[in-house]
Structure 1
Amino acid sequence: MDLILSAIEILMRWDVALALLAGSVGGVLIGAIPGVGPAVAIAILLPATFSMDPIVGLTVLLGIYGSSMYGGAIPAILINTPGTAVNALTTYDGYPMTARGEPRRALSLAYSASFFGGVFSVLCLILFAPVLARVAPMFGSREIFLAALLGIILVIVAHRGQTLIAGALAGLGIFIQSIGLEPVKYSQRYTFDQTWLSGGIDLIVVVLGLFALSQAFVLLTSEDEKIRTTRLRGGLFQGLRELARHPRVAGVSASFGVLMGMIPGVGEFTAQFMSYTYAQRTSKRPEDFGHGSSEGLIAAETANNAVPAAAMVPLLALGIPGEALTAMMLSVFYVHNVVPGPGLFQTRMDFVVALYIALLVLNVLVLIFLLMATRPLVQVVKIPNRFLGICVLTLSFVGVYSLRNSASDCMIAAGFGLFGFVLKRLNMPIVPIILGMVLGNIMEVKLRAGMARVKTPLDFIDRPVAFILFCIIIIVCVAHLRRVWLDRRELKEAEWRSKTRSTRFGGHLFRRRSYLSTERGKTVRARHLPSPRPSTDRD
């Protein structure tokens, strides 16, 4: 109880309250604008948060992170265009409801499901906070290295069908973070005698380039579309009553969100599809899914909003981000000398609980705001793409230059922006680069610290947690290789069946035509042959 009171005291400040309000409202607005998303907004705001108190800066970023998915449901339901990438599954059942004249019901249900998922996740993590405080000290340098390695592996294998390119981009991120002065002996690495590379390539510069500038280029090169929105009539409170009629779907989906959020590299997409699949398989009316099913909408929105609070667990307990947004937040900790990891739960537990309470208050503020301001908020989706692109481009360069007042940083950001633009055009992932930079740095530092007491390779995994993590890494790699082998086997079998069918059908058809033509030829020749003459003996 004293811990909760201490956490509430941290939040009872006017600047924290203002940051929480600005982050929650701003996140909804950002999420409601298709083509922007929370990653762009957080990347632009990162330089500004460095001058704030850590709890204030993190509250703003958490507000945008946690509330953007609420806003992303608005265009997904009304115009079949997800506001954020994780709202893509919302379009499956949200837009069909709008098409049959039920936009108010769909929005109300999405808000209610999102609120339940967010609150459920925060309450679970507040209850498990004492357990995390006990488990976190078991992680030393070797364990954190193995956990970071597991995070990179999970990020790579999560991109099914793009595993090789995801691995290559993660390796590129690890290489980028190694440029500059080496942290132990301060020797030059990959600088090629260029003084502007001596300080390395800043993570925020790369983040702004890959996410903000690349998205600005996408918006500037896309045409403005005339969007027609549906007029909303009536109240938006009925979704709370309808959600209460599906407690099983909501509870299981929120649980999937919590579990998937705590695993680095998994995130909202896996939680959504697992929840949606479960809801469809256990539903009494599975044929309605994809055609305006309330259970499908509940499963999608509950799962994705349960992830943000859970994603803070590996970040706070181990200092390991599970996705790009939490990787950006990690830089805020480092700037203010607040090192996330086992020590944070031992020395600043009130700070951790304060962040979770802030997430809880955030969900309440967002729900109230959306229930009151949805009708005027719908007009946000009509903002032209090119106007948004100019705004994002300008704010991004201002943010990059404000970091170190360096023109070279602006050029590096522009280069990464063009690179990110190319990756987006080719439908290739960007997140592995950022996580490669963050986790690569963690792996290097922890490996050097852990190797000081290691004499043989087996000494590296001689502790229980390290051995468990090593086994999980082996299992994940073997399972992925097995899945790739089975996919290729199924593909070859499918190709063989298709060829066999075409050959059999073609052969049968050819033989049939030959038989008919032969019989027809015999018949024709028989008609025109003269009648046989009797033989005569010529003796």
Structure 2
Amino acid sequence: MDLIFSSIEILARWDVLLALLAGSIGGVLIGAIPGVGPAVAIAILLPATFSMDPIVGLTVLLGIYGSSMYGGSIPAILINTPGTAVNALTTYDGYPMTTRGEARRALSLAYSASFFGGIFSVVCLILFAPILAKIAPMFGSREIFLAALLGLILVVVAHRGQALIAAALACFGIFLNTVGLEPVKYTKRFTFDQSWLSGGVNLIVVVLGLFALSQAFYLLTGEDEKVRMTKLRGGLFQGLRELARHPRVAGVSGTFGVLMGMIPGVGEFTAQFLSYTYAQKTSKRPQDFGHGSSEGLIAAETANNAVPAAAMVPLLALGIPGEALTAMMLSVFYVHNVVPGPQLFQNDMDFVVALYLALLLLNILVLVFLLFATNQLIKVVKIPNRFLGAAILVLSFVGVYSLRNSFTDCLIAACFGIFGFVLKRLSIPAVPIILGMVLGGIMEVKLRAGMARVKSFPDFFIDGRGDTNSIRPIAVILFIMIIGVLLIHFRRVWLDRKELKEAKWSTKHASTNFGMHLSRRKDYLLRERGRKVRGKHLTYNPRSTGKR
């Protein structure tokens, strides 16, 4: 109880509560605008959070991160356009409800499911916080290196069908992190005697370029779409009652969200599809899924809102971000000399619990705000894309310049913005670049620290030579997981190629057989035509369609 009270004391400050309120409402607004998303908003706000206290800056970012998916469900349900990428599955059952005149019911159900998922994940993590505090000290340099390597591999293999491109981009991110002064002996690397490269490539500059500027270019080059809104009828409180009739779907979906959120590189999409598949297979009316099923909407929204709190576990316990948004938050820790990892759980457990309590309060604030402000909030969907693009462009360059008052940073950000725009048009993910920069730095530092006691490969998992009693179990488990993930991925690639070859063979032979069938059918019809015509002097000639 003392831990809870000390955590509440950290939160019970006017600036923290104001930051939480601004972040939560701002996140809903950002999520409700299609084409912006939380990554853009967090990237723009990052420079401003560096001048705040750590708890204040992180609370603002957590507010945007945790509430954006609430707002993203609004355009997904009303106009069949997800506000954020993770709300794509919400359109499957949310928009069909709107076409039936049940828009308010769908919104109410989405809000209620999101609220349950967020509260469920926070409660689970607060209950497991003592266990995490005991496990965290077991992670040394070698374990953190293996965990970072596992996270990087999971990020790559999560991009199914684009794993090779994702791996190349992750390696490019690792290379960007090596530019400048190396962290141990401070020797210059890849600077080519250019003074502006001595400080390295700034992570925030790259983030603003790849996410904010690229999105601004994308919106400016597109066309403004005319949005037709549907009228909302009925109450928004009915979703809470309807959610209570599906406790099994909500509970399992929340569990999927928590588990997938704690695994780096997996995130909302995997949690959503696992939850949606489970709900459909166990439903009494599976035929309704995709046509306005309340269970499908509950599964999608519960799972994706259970992920943000769980995604903070690898970030806080090991200092390893699992996605771009948590990688951005990691920079706030570093600016304020707060190093996430085992020491944070040992020495500042009240700070960790305060962040979880902030997420708990965040979900309550967002639900109350949405229940009373939805009618006014839906108007933000009508904001023109080009106006948004211009606003994001200006704010991004202001944020980049404010970092170090450098025009060079603005040029670097513009280059990465163009590069990110090209990746976006080609549907290639940019997230591996950011995670490569962050995880590459962690891997380098921890590997060089751990190699001081490693003389051979087995020493990586054993303290001392030949002493079997000093095996490092966490290192062994992580190494086995890395090998297992790689084997599963290569097996999946082999099966995909096998299925592709079989599909090509079937298509080729099917087209050949179909052509032969058409030829025979034509000859048959021509013969029948010659036989059935009586009383007329017709001569059947397969090469001629005339009469003689």
Does the 8 A contact of 2:188 with 2:198 survive in 1? yes
Flag the 1:107–1:517 CA change in 2: closer, same or farther, 3 A. Answer: closer
Corresponding position: 1:470 with 2:479: yes
1:270-289 equivalent positions in 2, closer than 5 A: 270-289=270-289
Flag the 1:513–1:311 CA change in 2: closer, same or farther, 3 A. Answer: same
Deviations 1:359-413 (A, max 9, x none): 0000000000000100000101011111111111111001000101111000000
Mapped partners of 2:450, 2:71: distance in 1: 44
Corresponding position: 1:457 with 2:443: no
Q: Secondary structure at the match of 2:333?
A: helix
Corresponding position: 1:490 with 2:535: no
After TM superposition, the runs of 4+ consecutive aligned structure 1 residues lying more than 6 A away are: 511-521
Deviations 1:73-122 (A, max 9, x none): 01110111111010011011001100110000000000000000000000
Mapped partners of 1:277, 1:315: distance in 2: 29
User: Which amino acid in structure 2 is aligned with residue 47 of structure 1?
Assistant: P
Corresponding position: 1:245 with 2:232: no
Q: Secondary structure at the match of 1:290?
A: coil
Mapped partners of 1:156, 1:162: distance in 2: 8
Counting matched residue pairs gives: 524
Q: CA deviation at 1:511?
A: 6.5
Q: Secondary structure at the match of 1:41?
A: helix
Flag the 1:517–1:96 CA change in 2: closer, same or farther, 3 A. Answer: closer
Alignment correspondent of 1:79 = 79
Does the 8 A contact of 1:107 with 1:236 survive in 2? yes
Does the 8 A contact of 1:170 with 1:433 survive in 2? yes
Alignment correspondent of 1:479 = 488
Q: CA deviation at 1:430?
A: 0.7
Flag the 1:142–1:514 CA change in 2: closer, same or farther, 3 A. Answer: same
Deviations 1:240-286 (A, max 9, x none): 00000000100000000000000000000000011011111111111
Mapped partners of 2:29, 2:525: distance in 1: 72
Q: Secondary structure at the match of 1:83?
A: coil
Does the 8 A contact of 2:136 with 2:342 survive in 1? yes
Corresponding position: 1:499 with 2:508: yes
Q: CA deviation at 1:321?
A: 0.2
User: Which amino acid in structure 2 is aligned with residue 153 of structure 1?
Assistant: I
Mapped partners of 1:368, 1:482: distance in 2: 47
Q: CA deviation at 1:505?
A: 4.0
Q: Secondary structure at the match of 1:391?
A: helix
Q: Secondary structure at the match of 2:192?
A: coil
Does the 8 A contact of 2:149 with 2:443 survive in 1? yes
TM-score (norm 1): 0.95
Corresponding position: 1:309 with 2:318: no
Mapped partners of 1:512, 1:265: distance in 2: 55
User: Which amino acid in structure 1 is aligned with residue 498 of structure 2?
Assistant: R
User: Which amino acid in structure 2 is aligned with residue 71 of structure 1?
Assistant: G
Corresponding position: 1:179 with 2:179: yes
Mapped partners of 2:218, 2:499: distance in 1: 37
Q: CA deviation at 1:502?
A: 2.9
Q: CA deviation at 1:187?
A: 1.4
- RMSD between superposed Cα atoms in Å: 1.7
Q: CA deviation at 1:495?
A: 1.4
Does the 8 A contact of 1:220 with 1:390 survive in 2? yes
Does the 8 A contact of 1:461 with 1:470 survive in 2? no
Alignment correspondent of 2:469 = none
Alignment correspondent of 2:229 = 229
1:387-398 equivalent positions in 2, closer than 5 A: 387-398=387-398
Q: Secondary structure at the match of 2:379?
A: helix
User: Which amino acid in structure 1 is aligned with residue 505 of structure 2?
Assistant: W
105-114 or 214-223: bigger deviation: 214-223
Does the 8 A contact of 1:35 with 1:83 survive in 2? yes
Alignment correspondent of 2:49 = 49
Mapped partners of 1:516, 1:52: distance in 2: 83
Mapped partners of 2:313, 2:246: distance in 1: 28
Q: CA deviation at 1:500?
A: 2.4
Mapped partners of 1:482, 1:135: distance in 2: 32
Corresponding position: 1:378 with 2:378: yes
Alignment correspondent of 2:544 = none
Q: CA deviation at 1:518?
A: 10
Mapped partners of 1:225, 1:507: distance in 2: 48
Alignment correspondent of 2:467 = none
% identity of equivalent residues: 82
Mapped partners of 1:355, 1:515: distance in 2: 78
Mapped partners of 1:198, 1:183: distance in 2: 12
Q: Secondary structure at the match of 2:233?
A: coil
Q: CA deviation at 1:501?
A: 2.6
Alignment correspondent of 2:338 = 338
Mapped partners of 1:284, 1:90: distance in 2: 20
Does the 8 A contact of 2:105 with 2:234 survive in 1? no
Mapped partners of 2:525, 2:62: distance in 1: 76
User: Which amino acid in structure 2 is aligned with residue 498 of structure 1?
Assistant: T
1:30-429 equivalent positions in 2, closer than 5 A: 30-429=30-429
TM-score (norm 2): 0.93
Flag the 1:514–1:222 CA change in 2: closer, same or farther, 3 A. Answer: closer
Q: Secondary structure at the match of 2:265?
A: coil
Mapped partners of 1:18, 1:519: distance in 2: 86
Q: CA deviation at 1:499?
A: 2.0
Q: Secondary structure at the match of 1:192?
A: coil
Q: CA deviation at 1:484?
A: 0.4
Does the 8 A contact of 2:215 with 2:389 survive in 1? yes
**Unpaired runs of 5+ in structure 1?**
522-526, 529-539
Over alpha carbons, which structure has the higher Rg?
1
User: Which amino acid in structure 2 is aligned with residue 455 of structure 1?
Assistant: K
User: Which amino acid in structure 1 is aligned with residue 359 of structure 2?
Assistant: L
User: Which amino acid in structure 2 is aligned with residue 413 of structure 1?
Assistant: A
